[in-house]
Structure 1
Amino acid sequence: MELVIRNEYDPLLASTIMALATPELPQHFSRLVKHLTAFDNLIIIAYHGEQRPMVLYREYTDPVVYLPMDSQYLGGAYLLDPFYREHLRGGVEGIRRLMDVAPDHFRRTHYYKNYYQQTTLLDEIAIFTSLTEGVTLTACLGRDRSSGKPFNKREREAVEQHAITLAGLMKKHWQDYRPQDAMKAAPAPLEERLQGVLKQEHRIRLSPRQAEVALFILRGHSSLSISLHLGVSLQTVKVFRRQLYAKCSISSQAELFALLMPLFARLTASE
């Protein structure tokens, strides 16, 4: 069986290499990956700094999976995405599973309940490679309602075993890719942008730390997780949360999501 798999893989790899620098590469890449692990959808995204990401390729079994992509994800929801946060770490290579890198309360977030579940996605694995400094390519393999089941351990390991090759193919094919806004100055930190739009839209004045805590909450971090990231006590985080809620005249995490999520289109850094 191992020999059969290898004999089928090698011609697919050869044809993918031959398709490098041609418009057909993404389709060949897709067939190669699908030979390793069946998926319902595939999207290749270029992240560049804190600018709005660029979709380079997408395919799907059920079109509903990408219906919210252009309006919601690229419209600002990507700022809360765990894969985007991985990109911001810099120099990330290899395989990442969404739920392995997501914060501990990710499934409680507005992003998860009102964007991610809308896509019907059940599981996502991403192949990461750094193209240049500040530019990350990800090929996200998804399972949605089409198959109705997440990737199992064997399927994840099959992709992971070939991660170097797959990342290398992506890097080689898109080696000349340059974002349209590559020459733009780096935007202000996200916390500052959130402070500015809250002040402008709602006359709410948050301190830098309160804005930072608000973003941690939106991404799905518990108070304990926030305390570990900020290097402060759990009690201090609870004080920050109380202050944040008081300034926003709210009393729950759900109200915080309802207040801030509509503003995220104003926080994107592509304009």
Structure 2
Amino acid sequence: MKSTDQDKALAQAIRALGTPDFARAYAALLRCYCHFDNLIIIAYSGENRPTVLYREYTDPIVYQPMDSQYLDSAYLLDPLYHQHRKGETRGVVRLRDIAPDHFRRTQYFKAYYKQTTLLDEMAVFATISESVTITSCLGRDRSSGTPFSKREIRTLYENGQSLSALAEQNWQGYQPDGQRAAEPAPLGDRLREALKRQHDIRLSPRQAEVALFILRGHSSLSIGLNLEVSPQTVKVFRRQLYAKCGISSQAELFALLMPLFAKLTQEE
């Protein structure tokens, strides 16, 4: 893409700030930097359900699981969502660079992510407030059949801060409709209460933490680093967790907890 075309697209995005035309102009600007098969702009607010602000695609299959699963509860296991939860993220992030080490082995990946046919995903993060993050997720799927090129990735990284600034300026003060102002209790606490209430399973806070790390795709080594314990200690917690739940695999843990996640998000 010629620099003059990029300059025109940037000017159009600036002129569209604060108007209903901004998302489309922003998408046109992003397309100047890389070819993407799909784009979705999502607002995350704390642990609440995400809100879709804009989307476009080549193959509609990429967003079918989004509406049926992701927005319902699967987002709780998404690496991009957890990047939002860390707070104050700006610029461009590549999914494969922030995903846990065993992400591709998870039931989340097998049951949800593979259905989208996504091969590569980049996201522009814009921090709107302490609790609200806007992410513009650019994907390559089966439509093109290839990941982003090194040149496209480099160009996005080089322009990441200005892309974040544009999104922050447009959506400054944004608050999702119909969501509670107060942050819900931590997911681990709500999960423990739901397991106790519905299955008479009583997990310790640490066992619940380990369960969530497992579902997100962290190995025992990665969980240990996050919790500042040894991998051997993590394995003890895992055995205790599986014994209390009466299961023997990560797939069974996923099947047990995902329906609870859906109910927890419905209660918000």
* TM-score, length of structure 1 as denominator length: 0.95
Report the counterpart of residue 265 of structure 1 in structure 2.
262
Distance 1:174 1:188 in 2: 26
Q: Which runs of 5+ in 2 are unaligned?
A: none
Native 8 Å contact 1:123 1:143 kept in 2:
yes
The residue correspondences of 1:8-157 to structure 2 (distance < 5 A) are: 8-157=5-154
DSSP 3-state at the match of 2:92: strand
Q: How far apart, in 2, do the equivalents of 1:14 and 1:270 lie?
A: 43
Question: How far is the alpha carbon of 1:169 from its aligned partner?
Answer: 1.3
1:217 and 2:218 aligned: no
What is the distance in 2 between the residues matched to 1:166 and 1:226?
33
1:222 Cα deviation from its structure 2 partner: 0.4
Select between 46-55 and 180-189 the one with higher mean Cα deviation.
Answer: 180-189
What does the per-residue CA deviation read over 1:153-191, in whole Å, with 9 as the maximum and x for residues that have no partner? Answer: 111111111112211111111113222256532111111
Structure 1 contact 187–269 (Cα < 8 Å) conserved: no
Q: Distance in 1 between matches of 2:254 and 2:228?
A: 24
What 5-or-longer segments of structure 1 have no aligned partner?
A: none
Structure 2 residue 204 is matched with structure 1 residue 207: yes
Moved more, 230-239 or 178-187: 178-187
Map of 1:152-191 to 2, 5 A cutoff? 152-181=149-178, 183-191=180-188
Question: What is the alpha-carbon distance in structure 1 between the residues aligned to residue 123 and residue 247 of structure 2?
Answer: 36
CA 1:26–1:165: 2 relative to 1, 3 Å: same
Instruction: Return the letter of the residue paired with 2:119.
Output: L
Measured against aligned partners, the alpha-carbon deviations of 1:217-255 in whole angstroms (never above 9, x if no partner) come to 000000111111100111111110110010011112222
Matched, 1:192 2:189: yes
Is the partner of 1:45 in helix, strand or coil?
Answer: strand
Task: Give distance in 2, aligned partners of 1:11 and 1:221.
Answer: 43
Partners of 2:267 and 2:87 in 1: CA distance: 19
Aligned mates of 2:118, 2:243 — CA distance in 1: 35
Instruction: Kindly indicate whether the alpha-carbon contact (under 8 Å) linking 1:68 and 1:115 is maintained by their aligned counterparts in 2.
Output: yes
Once the two structures are superposed, residues 16-39 of structure 1 have per-residue CA deviations (whole angstroms, 9 ceiling, x without a partner) of 111111211111111111111000
AA paired with 1:95? V
Opposite residue 141 of structure 2, the aligned amino acid is D
Whole-Å Cα distance in 2 between the matches of residues 67 and 230 of structure 1?
35
Say whether 1:5 aligns with 2:19: no
Residue 103 of structure 1 deviates from its aligned partner by 0.3
2:129 and 2:173 in contact (8 A); partners too: no
The range that moved more, 190-199 or 217-226, is: 190-199
8 Å CA contact 1:126, 1:140 repeated in 2: yes
Deviation of 1:145 (Å): 0.6
Q: 2:250 aligns with which of 248, 253, 265?
A: 253
TM-score by length of 2: 0.96
Is 1:238 the counterpart of 2:214? The answer is: no
Partners of 1:93 and 1:123 in 2: how far apart? 19
Residues 52, 270 of structure 1: 8 Å contact kept: no
The residue identity in structure 2 corresponding to 1:189 is P
Question: 2:122, 2:266 → 1: CA distance?
Answer: 26
| Identical amino acids, percent of aligned pairs | 63
Q: 1:205 to 1:183 in 2, by over 3 A?
A: closer
